[in-house]
Every structure is written in C-alpha cells, then in structure tokens.
Amino acid sequence: MTKLPLISSDDVIKKLKAARFDYAPHRGKGSHVALYKIGEDGNKLLVIVPRRDPIPRGTLISILKQAHLTKEEFLDL
C-alpha cells in the first residue's frame, strides 16, 4: 500500500490540472478552490480543495475519492 506524501494545496491543484480538471466557474471563494471535469460517463466531477500547507492525508484521500483517482494514479501525475 502506497503512503501519500504531505503536500500543499497548490501541488494538489497542479496534479488535478494535469488530470484535466479545470477551475469551476463561480465556486471556490475564500479558503477553498473548486475544480471540475466531465467524467468518462458524462457526469461532472466536482472537487473541493482547501487552501492548506500541508493538506492532511485524510483530506487528500477524500479529494482523490471525489476525483475518482487512485493513489497510484495521483502519484504518477
């Protein structure tokens, strides 16, 4: 089982942008950033990333579930 590193929200956003997520319009004000993409099944995936350095591992796992990414896929980005 791969252990996730402690990384900042900026690094998480960069990796999600590499996974073809884009900033959600009219969302993510203040201390959170909203990203979205259209999934393979046609549904919209919305991911909320809190501005923290570092992001707690539990929060990062929740972000990966929202993005439909495995730990390995995330680390490969």
- Answering whether pTM is above 0.85, one says yes
Rounded CA gap, 12 and 35, in Å? Answer: 11
Please compute the mean of the pLDDT values over residues 68-74 and round it to a whole number.
92
Q: pLDDT for 4-17, tens place per residue?
A: 889 999 999 999 99
- Do residues 50 and 32 make contact, with C-beta atoms less than 8 angstroms apart? yes
Segments making up each domain of the chain, as ranges: 9-76
- Do residues 53 and 8 make contact, with C-beta atoms less than 8 angstroms apart? yes
Peptide bond into 54 cis (omega under 30): yes
Q: pLDDT for 22-54, tens place per residue?
A: 998 887 678 899 999 998 888 899 999 999 999
| Nearest partner of 75 among 4, 20, 21, 8, judged by Cα | 4
Instruction: Please give the structure tokens belonging to residue 36.
Output: 């979205």
Assign domain 9-76 to a CATH class: alpha beta
